[in-house]
Structures are given as C-alpha cells and as structure tokens.
Amino acid sequence: MKREVPLIITAVVGIMYIFQYFVPHEPVSRFSDWFSDWFGIIQAFAIWLGALNLMKLSLLKVARRKKDWMYSLVTIIGFAAIFIVGIFFSRGANFQEPGTRFMFIYDNVYDPLSSTMFALLGFFVASASYRAFRARNKEATMLLLAAFFVMLGRVPVGDMITKEWLQLPHWLWLSNWADWVMNIPNTAGQRAIMIGIALGIMSTSLRIILGIERTFVSGD
C-alpha cells in the first residue's frame, strides 16, 4: 500500500491533468482548478517543510560542532530574528506594509546582503571571460566573436563607436550585429534546446504517470 497508493494518485492526477488541457470544459475543467488549488496548498506546506528542515540541519550542525558550524548559527539567528519580528512585531497580517519592522529588515539587511552576493558574480564573470574567451579553435573563435558583438552591441558605446565616430553604414552598427546574433543563431539554438527538453520532460512524465519510473516512491 505504501507504494501502490502514491502510484495510483500519480497516475490518476497525471492522466486527468493531460486530459483537462485538451478539454477545457465542464466538468473536466473543474479538475484543473482542484489540482491547481491542491498544488498551491502542497507548495505552501513544502515551504514550511523546507524551512523546518533547514532549521533541523542547522541546529544539528551547531550542536555537533561540525565544520563551519558558525555559519549555521548565523542562519539560525537570522531565521529566528526575522520570524519573530515578522510574526509578533510587524502589524500582524500587514507585515509587508512599508514602514513595518519586517520591511526595515528586508530593506536594510536582506536587500543589500543578497544584492552584494549577486553583484560579486560580475567580477567573477570578468575574470572568467579573460581566461575562457581564447581563440583556441574554430568553435571558441565563434563564441568569442559572438561575445564581442553582443557585449559591445548591447551597450550604447557600441553604436557610438560605429555610428558616430566611424560613421559606418547602418548595417555595420554593432547593435545590428548584436540583434542578429540574438535573433538568429541564439533563437535557433534556444529552440533546439527547448524542444529537446520538452521531449525529455514528456517521456519522463509518461514513465512516471504509467508507473514505469518508480524511484520517487521506492528509491529503487
């Protein structure tokens, strides 16, 4: 029963979900609404589960003094602080209103910290570009040229050079080259990837719905 019930639920929900997509009329469309509502409820619980799991792992790490346990301590303190402030000291359900203590933490701690972490990527991208964009072979040279046109064509200085300083004809402006790279080779490549992914998702989904793929219930 522990294996069969989840398999049956998956098969029934999966088949109904496919069916309702092609028959968007009553009573089939009602299934779509039910499943959407249930998915929202499950995801809301999953958020809680994720948060509690994070706390459990962090607490265990601190209690057992595992490597880098101090980072887990920061996680626990941060979580507890924003949780307590959000629930008890931020006008209850209106905690997201501007001016609450929750929003104070959001604006002055979370926002700058997460932005800083993300901004570091810019530096690493610059360093990685220096080392990676080398014309080692034909493929690498093409990548290098595409990067050159897109990087310069996507900022105003690209057109400033080709349009105003060099006064080249319209088709030689760097923005046009960048647009060409984005609209033609990029779109073609993205479409190929998308179609490949879609086919993979379809086959995996069918295997799960039909009960061929059972690792999610048995761990086999």
Partner 1 sequence: MGFWDKLMKIDRRIIFLFVIVAVTLPLFLNISQKTTISYEVRRGFDELARLQPGARVLIPCDYDPPSAPELQPMAITAIRYCLDHDLKMIIMGLWPQGPQQANAALESVLGEVPGETIIWKGKTLTYGRDWVNLGFQAGNELVIQRMGSSIPAAFPRDFRGTPIAELPLMQGMQNFNNIDFVINVSAGYPGIVEWVQFGVDRFGVQLLGGTTAVQAPLAYPYFESGQLRGILGGLKGASEFEELAGTLGKATKFMLSQSFAHIIVILFIIVGNVAYFAGGRRKQT
Write down the least CB distance from residue 131 to partner 1, Å.
Answer: 7
Amino acid in position 3? R
Beta carbon of residue 155, minimum distance to partner 1 (angstroms, whole number): 4
Which is closer to partner 1, CB of 127 or CB of 218?
Answer: 127
The least CB distance from residue 142 to partner 1, in Å, is: 14
DSSP 184-214: IIIHHHHHHHHHHHHHHHHHHHHHHHTTS--
Kindly tell me which of 187 and 218 has the beta carbon lying closer to partner 1: 187
Residue 43: how many CB atoms within 10 A of its CB? 9
The C-alpha atoms of residue 145 and residue 157 are separated, in whole angstroms, by 17
Residue with tokens 């900022």: 155
Which of residues 56 and 191 has its CB atom nearest to partner 1 in the complex?
A: 191
Closest approach, Cβ 133 to partner 1, in A, equals 5
Q: Which is nearer to partner 1, 69 or 133 (CB)?
A: 133
* Encoded tokens for 127: 């360093």
User: Of 96 and 203, which CB lies nearer to partner 1 in the complex structure?
Assistant: 96
Provide the binding-site residues for partner 1, judged by CB under 8 A. Answer: 21, 24, 29, 32-33, 35-37, 39-40, 43-44, 47, 93-94, 96-99, 103, 106-107, 110-112, 114-115, 117-119, 122-123, 125-127, 129-131, 133-136, 144, 147-148, 151-152, 154-157, 159-160, 163-164, 173, 175, 179, 182-183, 186-187, 190-191, 194
> Which of these, 102, 195, 181, lies nearest to 148 by C-alpha position?
181
Secondary structure of 137-164 as H, E, C letters: CHHHHHHHHHHHHHHHHCCHHHHHHHHH
